[in-house]
Amino acid sequence: MTQNLRLPVLFLQDQVALPGMTMPIELDDQARAAVEAARAGSDGKLLLAPRVGDRYPTFAVVATIEQIGRMPGGARAAVLRAESRARIGQGVTGPGAALWVEAETVDDPQITERASELATEYKRLLVAVLERRQAWQIIDVVNGVKDPAQLADMAGWASYFTLDQRVELLEELDLEQRLEALIGWTGDHLAEQEVSDKIADDVREGMEKSQREFLLRQQLDAIRKELGEDEPEGAEDYRTRVESADLPDAVREAALREVGKLERASDQSPEGGWIRTWLDTVLELPWNERTTDRTDITAAREVLDADHHGLDDVKDRIVEYLAVRARRAERGLEVVGGRGSGAVLALAGPPGVGKTSLGESVARALDRTFVRVALGGVRDEAEIRGHRRTYVGALPGRIVRAIKEAGSMNPVVLLDEIDKVGSDFRGDPAAALLEVLDPAQNHTFRDHYLELDLDLSDVLFIATANALETIPPALLDRMELVSIDGYTEDDKVAIGRDHLLPRQLERAALGADEVTITDAALREMAANHTREAGVRQLERLIGKVLRKVATELATDKAQVPVTVEAGRLRDYLGRPRFTPESEERTAVPGVSTGLAVTGMGGDVLFVEASAPVTDEPLQPGEGGTRLTLTGQLGEVMKESAQIALSYLRAHGAEQGIDAARLRGSVHLHVPAGAIPKDGPSAGVTMVTALASLASGRLVRGDVGMTGEVTLNGRVLPIGGVKQKLLAAQRAGLKTVFVPQRNEPDLDDVPDEVLAELDVRPVSDVAEILEYALEPAAQQGGAVAA
């Protein structure tokens, strides 16, 4: 039941009183006036109203003075017990100095089912908050409260509610609204507590982990010290290692600067790991380590001859290099790390001629360490020069890693497949190799990772390549080119007998007393079962024969010893795959045999010409001839065909050739159409094919030719003479025409090849036509046809 009362008012600063709360109030002047007025004129009752800014409160609680005394500090205080809500009315007069107002009490609302449900939910949240604070006694009190209104007013004691939230609870008369607000606020507070507790747990776990790691590291250091192990861990150990290492002065100074940075860096800093990795790399490099070269020139040559058959150019160059270094050492002229004291060789030739294995033999001959660096498919410049240390996972380049692997500053470094180096958005590795392979510059090579001058001038670099066309001219100019053009049949037989057969016998677990392959069988393999410049396929065939022999021995189909002769190769390898075909291909007019060089070595090239019948009229500007070219010909080769046609139309009469037969439609085809072809060296071959077509005379089947032709019939020099002559020998040709200006190149051709071939240097294509075309009288009806 509501009551109208006249009571003094006590304004609370930063506090809100709710019904059921008992609180001590320090008696300052205002509070003393209100308490004295209440004891004098209202039976000890007064209003407790919150002060919220400048707003005049509309609700307060009626409180009773329970006790007046002193605080522990000696100040006077009164204990007040809040009883019920009251709505503040107008001011009135009363005794004492306090403010008196009219007040109307507010009855507690009816308890609804909804209010009971909300009270249960709020009690659950409140108990969860108290459990996190381990306030078990208060939990018992909360569980004993059954009145939803009393439970809601207990929120006045919660320290996590703001002053405005408590004022809202005081002024909210609807119990359900009051409980809903409490549920929302308590839930938010509980979520914040869970996040805060999780963060605190994570921080505590991190601190405990760091402390545990620190303790374990201290114990580990103590254990290592007791065991006498000197494993570097800290900056002091690195300083000791740097100072005791055999380093150049500039390198030691740079390393000590990095040690100083490491000493100033914290253990948790990632920079410390980068510095340690850099220092480890610097300390592992053999800055002042060098091996002593072999001074016995004869012994070095014997090592090279034992490992490889032939290849005299390379062997002579290595022996010359050794001889010069030995003389410089004798006369005290050798300068370690001097400019240009090393050498850079480029071994160019078709696959299978022994370029890669030659590098290891050179290292054995020099008594140096050997390292192979595979460059095939490398497209990142950082692979050569290294990465900047600012990148994650940075490493030095392959050159620095090769020096570290070799363990000396003067190894033999084989740069394998240098012609397969590519370039893309990550840079051009071939350009990065310019400094590495320049004897005048590589004594101060600087890797991006090390950022220190590395002396490569005493390194013997050997680069291998199949095709020189893909190597940049600036890079090729820095290397000393040694061409390995291929082997003759005699060379292949010797290599197969002395090198390949013993190696394959070991792989097949056979002994030399169990299997013998005759020289005639080896020659048959090289001549009719393979057609290559090297011996890689020949080694595979020898291995295939030995595997079949091992199978026969295992199944008792053969008895030891087994002799493989030329007549038995058909049982082991099947029918020969390659037979001379020049006679067959040139059996009709318009076909000539040329010579070409590919990435696989020298090869024969047939040019076919025909004049198909057509009724299509010539287009303006075709000059009376429509020339069709097929066979994937490049621009230079197409131009050679045009030049050949123009030459015969202008000078054919001088050779007794009726150029009128070349009017109309002429088709020129170079077989093996799936293979791209280009270059000017097929010019004389095209002239011969067209001359054969126009005259109806056959081209001799045993004649091959190569050379660039001009409009006046001059034969210009070309490249790859040695490889082309080796291919002519393999193809069974007898006479080969080469340009007159290529005659000096014949000095590089083996004597046995020149003995089997009739090599004729010419300066005019007319000389080729005079010999290569068979006389008309010997062809029967060829001309009439």
Residues marked active site are found at 681, 724
Question: Would you call 515 helix, strand, or coil by DSSP?
Answer: strand
Annotated ligand binding at 9? The verdict is: no
Annotated ligand binding at 576? The verdict is: no
Tokens for 457, please give them: 């001038």
> Are the C-beta atoms of 760 and 737 separated by less than 8 Å?
yes
Residue 103 DSSP code = E
Rounded Cα–Cα distance for residues 173 and 719 (Å): 108
Question: Would you call 461 helix, strand, or coil by DSSP?
Answer: strand
Tokens for 11, please give them: 């304004």
DSSP symbols for 395-452 = ---HHHHHHHHHTSSS-EEEEETGGG---BTTB-HHHHHHHHT-TTTGGGEE-TTT-S
> What do you get for the CA distance between the two ends of the chain, in Å?
139
Annotated ligand binding at 422? The verdict is: no
Rounded Cα–Cα distance for residues 245 and 287 (Å): 10
Q: Which of 173, 200, 193, 198 is nearest to 125 (CA)?
A: 193
Burial of 664 (0-12, 13-18, 19+ CB in 10 A): middle
Tokens for 80, please give them: 């007040």
Q: Which of 660, 562, 646, 565 is nearest to 611 (CA)?
A: 660
The residues, ordered by sequence, that sit 6+ positions from 407 with a Cβ below 8 Å of its Cβ are: 286, 289, 369
Query: How distant is the alpha carbon of residue 77 from its chain centre?
Result: 81
User: What percent of the chain is helix, strand and coil (3-state, nearest 5)?
Assistant: 45, 20, 35
Tokens for 214, please give them: 């620190």
**Where would I find the beta strands (DSSP E) of 249-369?**
343-348
Kindly report the number of other CB atoms within 10 A of residue 72's CB atom. 6
The number of residues making up the chain comes to 785
Rounded Cα–Cα distance for residues 124 and 41 (Å): 44
Question: Looking at the DSSP assignment, which residues form a beta bridge with residue 711?
Answer: none
Q: Which of 101, 97, 28, 25 is nearest to 65 (CA)?
A: 25
Tokens for 222, please give them: 């103590």
> Are the C-beta atoms of 445 and 453 separated by less than 8 Å?
yes
Annotated ligand binding at 356? The verdict is: yes
Q: Which of 594, 597, 592, 599 is nearest to 719 (CA)?
A: 597
> What CA–CA distances, in Å, run from 390 to 230, 289, 378?
30, 29, 22
HSE-up of residue 633 (Cα within 13 Å, Cβ side): 24
Annotated ligand binding at 162? The verdict is: no
> Are the C-beta atoms of 738 and 761 separated by less than 8 Å?
yes
Rounded Cα–Cα distance for residues 607 and 593 (Å): 7
Annotated ligand binding at 303? The verdict is: no
**Where would I find the beta strands (DSSP E) of 244-332?**
none
Question: What element of type H or E holds 243?
Answer: helix 235-244
Annotated ligand binding at 355? The verdict is: yes
Annotated ligand binding at 703? The verdict is: no
Going by the annotation, the residues of the binding site for ATP are 349-356
| Residue list for the binding site | 349-356
